[in-house]
Amino acid sequence: MKKFFLSLIASITIFSSTVSARDYISIVGSSTVYPFATLVAEKLASEGMKAPVIESTGSGGGHKLFCAGIGVEHPDITNSSRAQKDKEFSLCQDSGVEDIIEVRVGNDGIAFAYSADYEWKNATGSSIDGGINLTKEEIWQAMARDNLNAPKTWNDIDARLPKVEISIMAPPPSSGTRDAFDSLVMKKGCVKDMLVADGDCEAYREDGHVIEGGENDELYVEHITKEQGAFGIFGYSFLANNEDKIAASKIDGVEISMEGIQDYSYPIARPLFFYIKKAHVGVIPGLMDYVNEFVSEEATEGYLLDAGLVELSPADSAKVLDDIANLKSYK
């Protein structure tokens, strides 16, 4: 027994000295959360803290890196534009990352966006007042690989829609935005009567009408501004900060807005998160300073709100603050 405790103490000592060899916070994950994390990091760096290193790897890529293990070679935090999946949690557990603190940092909406310069017209050539409105079912028909009809233009889907070729740039499989979009649009909008036998509601077309992009939102803007009438899929904050370049379709008749995202009346609203490796708390310098700054009123009601992060309800915010104060593992 004595030998066991000596071994345990030795392993903890080795871990602590190894991790403390890194004097900055390492963060990976979501490209949607990335700009908010960068603002928090920049503020702390301006106050004298060693600047956190943040990599935009996509939510899926971030969870994979985060869950690889404990120690200096592994990230302290992963940002995520959707909740951690059960299989990711299991990967963490299998790699010794047993205690994880989940922080819900705000809300976001997914925009189905197009060039702000583009004027939508109906099949007869008349301008569509108030911009284009699409239902989840219509978006599914346009994007689904296993749609029996395989429409080429939006007018092929519904006579009220323009005779414009379908062209959509979608996030890659590693993206949390892709996961959320698939769950909220592709799955819910799936028209079973149009699905091929044994078809997959969430599979995207591979015939050129849907193009898989990367984690860089600027490439999506480049695509939809060059190809007028094309769509790209973005987080709300990127839309809000680029209103001179891009605009968003209404979804099921609802315009994207901060209010609609916060109360979830906008049909493609979702929460945003980051996850903290509890074993690194108290070992990596400044880790909790970063966390506490991110959820502070100065941030959530100030500079992060200005950047497009939709704040939580008072009840949700109180729960987040309590979980952080008590370093509560979420599972």
How do the domains of the chain map onto residue ranges? 2-107+271-325, 109-269
Task: Let me know the angle formed at the C-alpha of 276 by 57 and 48, rounded to the nearest 5 degrees.
Answer: 85
Please give the structure tokens belonging to residue 15.
Answer: 């871990």
Q: Quick one: which of 105, 106, 92, 94 has its CA closest to 277?
A: 92
Please give the CATH number for the structural domain made up of 2-107+271-325: 3.40.190.10
Confidence at residue 219, expressed as pLDDT on a 0 to 100 scale: 87
Distance of alpha carbon 168 from the chain centroid: 18
Name residues whose C-beta falls within 8 Å of residue 166's C-beta, 6 or more positions apart in sequence. Answer: 142, 151, 152, 153, 154, 209, 210
Confidence at residue 170, expressed as pLDDT on a 0 to 100 scale: 95
The strand pairing partners of 54, in sequence order, are 27
* pLDDT digit string (tens) for the chain, length 331 residues: 444 333 334 444 444 444 457 899 999 999 999 999 999 999 999 999 999 999 999 999 999 999 999 999 999 999 999 999 999 999 999 999 999 999 999 999 999 999 999 988 877 777 787 789 999 999 999 999 999 999 999 999 999 999 999 999 999 998 999 999 999 999 999 999 999 999 999 999 999 999 998 888 888 888 898 898 999 998 998 899 899 999 999 999 999 999 999 999 999 999 999 999 999 999 999 999 999 999 999 999 999 999 999 999 999 999 999 999 999 999 8
CB 294 within 8 A of CB 103: yes
CB 182 within 8 A of CB 132: no
Fill in the DSSP letter of residue 237.
H
b/e burial code for range 131-163 (CB count within 10 A of at least 16 → b): ebbbbbbbbbbbbbbbbeebbebbbbbeeebbb
d(CA 186, CA 145): 11
Q: Quick one: which of 35, 31, 2 has its CA closest to 308?
A: 35
Confidence at residue 278, expressed as pLDDT on a 0 to 100 scale: 97
d(CA 259, CA 71): 41
**3-class DSSP state for residue 327?**
coil
d(CA 26, CA 20): 12
d(CA 217, CA 235): 9
Domain 109-269, what architecture? 3-Layer(aba) Sandwich (3.40)
Would you call 12 exposed, middle or buried from its count of C-beta atoms within 10 A (0-12, 13-18, 19+)?
exposed
Domains 2-107+271-325 and 109-269 share a fold: yes
